[in-house]
Structure formats: C-alpha cells, structure tokens
Amino acid sequence: MSTEQKPRAAIDGAAPWVAAYREATANAKRWTEIADRARKHITDALGDNEVGTVDGEPVARYTVVNGTRLDSKKLKAEHPDIVEQFTVPTTSRRFTLVDGA
C-alpha cells in the first residue's frame, strides 16, 4: 500500500448526504436480507412448480432459464496465451465511505 498522501476535498456541504447514504445502505442491507428470506420461503413452497398462486391467482413464477457462459478460469489455465492476447487493462473508481467519519 502506498504511503503517498491522496488529495482530499472538503465536502462538509454534503454531510447530510453522507448520513443519508449510510442510512440508506444499512436499510438496503436489512431489506435485502428480508427479501432473501421471503424468496426462500416462496421458492421452497413452489418446489418444482413454475407458477405459484394465492387464492387461485398467480403471484409468483419460478422458471428455468438456460444459458451459456465463458469459464474464464478454465480458459486461463488451459490457454493463458489466448487470455493474455485478449486481456485489456481497465481503470475504474471505487466509492466507499470511511468508517468513523
């Protein structure tokens, strides 16, 4: 890790948005956990059936979707030269809030 000091920007005016972001992400995690639990109960109730009903009305569909994907780990293991030939460098930025800020 570099010891170089990164440029800083005072974002005091955005402090309410920092608080809102923290609260929203915390609530999102909580609701995602609830949604995951609910989904498990629903899919367990569906079993192998594709459509689930409540009071005779369809409320859930759990369909099989077939597809294909590239097994990049296997390709890299068996043909590293091809992977290197078609690999390009990328740059992106990652946004995180600093704990205790």
| pLDDT (tens digit per residue) in 48-96 | 999 999 999 999 999 999 999 999 999 999 999 999 999 999 999 999 9
In what helix (H) or strand (E) does residue 28 lie, and over which residues does it extend? helix 15-46
In a domain, 8, yes or no: no
In a domain, 99, yes or no: no
In a domain, 26, yes or no: yes
In a domain, 49, yes or no: yes
In a domain, 29, yes or no: yes
In a domain, 3, yes or no: no
Contact, 42 vs 58, CB < 8 A? no
Global pTM reads 0.67
Q: What is the mean pLDDT of the chain?
A: 94
* Residues 11-28 pLDDT 10s: 999 999 999 999 999 999
In a domain, 7, yes or no: no
**pLDDT band, residue 31 (cuts 50/70/90):** very high
User: The domain containing residue 30 runs over which residues?
Assistant: 13-85
The letter for the amino acid at 24 is A
Instruction: Give the per-residue pLDDT at 2.
Output: 58
Q: Based on the structure, what is the number of domains in the chain?
A: 1
